[in-house]
Amino acid sequence: MRKPFIAGNWKMYKTPKESLAFLDAFLPLVEGHTRDEIALFPTTTSLSAVIDGLHGSNVRGGAQNMHWLNEGPYTGQTSPTMLVSIGCRHVILGHSEQRLYFNETYERVNLKLKAAINHGITPIVCVGELLAEREDQKTEEVLRTQLRAALRNISPSEARRLIIAYEPIWAIGTGSTASPEIAAQAHAILRHELTHCCGEATADNTRILYGGSVKPENINELMAQEQIDGVLVGGASLVPTTFANIVQYT
Ligand code: PGA
């Protein structure tokens, strides 16, 4: 059984004060909700306050990125030990905005993934194709290449806690969601590649989330797909009632 995972990626939004105001409104709306795992990914300056504010609740807090080393002369970076020290146990890796605007590579995602596993942090590894790649019928090849590079030299037991997010780049922040069928097809490709890399048991247990313009209007049909084990929500996770509606899909 793969417990659904509903994640809110706040990107570069919300100060600590705004983040805590969100929690005040949101936590009562999802109190006692146990069907799904729920997690929020605030920006670095709000992370500590959010993790403290979530203490004792059914919602977790995670980071949007991290370096793979514990410390060093790397201006602007946050290390896995620093995340663990504030109680952070989840991290998003390889988000397409990191890849498109900050030259993130899957070689680095692989190093970060190993570091996350070594520190007991659950990694959410993002993969997804560009519109041009989809139009050129390259989706399958792109997804398999990305996943293989991210999982290089990761053993099946190390991959146990891994979460994958399929985020087609043409659907992120654009309002145009992948149809449930397109998403399910991509998820099937990823699970097949996972079986190849990590064996059937790990592939069967790994949650694959969909991300890209998820909203209350499309969550039900997405979650109805057997292959979709949760969602990574950007814009629609910024408003407490909207995100609570997503968590309460039927
Ligand atoms: P979106 O973002 O829901 O605003 O499309 C999703 C994401 O980038 O994770």
User: pLDDT at position 29, please?
Assistant: 98
Choose, from 90, 95, 119, 187, the residue flagged as catalytic: 95
* Res. 175 pLDDT band, cuts 50 70 90: confident
Q: At what angle do helices 44-54 and 16-30 cross, to 10 degrees?
A: 40
Q: Is 90 a catalytic residue?
A: no
Residue 173, pLDDT > 90, answer no
CATH number 3.20.20.70 is the correct assignment for the domain at 5-247? yes
**CA angle 234-237-242, nearest 5°?**
135
- Of 13, 99, 163, 172, which is best to mutate to test ligand 1, by the most ligand atoms within 8 angstroms of its C-beta? 172
Q: What percent of the chain has pLDDT over 90?
A: 96
Taking residue 56's Cβ as centre, other Cβ atoms within 10 Å add up to: 6
- Of 43, 93, 169, 213, which is best to mutate to test ligand 1, by the most ligand atoms within 8 angstroms of its C-beta? 213
Atom of ligand 1 nearest to the CA of 96: 8
Say how many Å lie between the CA of residue 89 and the centre of ligand 1: 21
Four-residue CA torsion sign, 37, 123, 152, 231: positive
Domain range list for the chain: 5-247
Q: Tell me how far apart the alpha carbons of residues 4 and 209 are, in angstroms, rounded to a whole number.
A: 8
Q: Where does ligand 1 bind, in terms of residues with CB under 6 Å?
A: 9, 167, 172-173, 211-214, 232-236
Whether the predicted model's global pTM rises above the 0.95 cut: yes
Question: With contact defined as beta carbons under 8 Å apart, do 177 and 218 qualify?
Answer: yes
Residue 111, pLDDT > 90, answer yes
Q: What percent of the chain has pLDDT over 70?
A: 100
| DSSP for residue 235 | G
3-state class (DSSP) for residue 51? helix
Distant-in-sequence contacts of 188-194, Cβ < 8 A, 24+ apart: 188/227, 189/139, 189/140, 189/143, 189/144, 190/127, 190/143, 190/147, 190/164, 190/166, 191/227, 193/143, 193/144, 193/147, 193/148, 194/147, 194/151, 194/159, 194/164
Per-residue pLDDT of 64-89, as tens digits, reads: 999 999 999 999 999 999 999 999 99
Residue 176, pLDDT > 90, answer no
Per-residue pLDDT of 119-160, as tens digits, reads: 999 999 999 999 999 999 999 999 999 999 999 999 999 998
* Res. 211 pLDDT band, cuts 50 70 90: very high
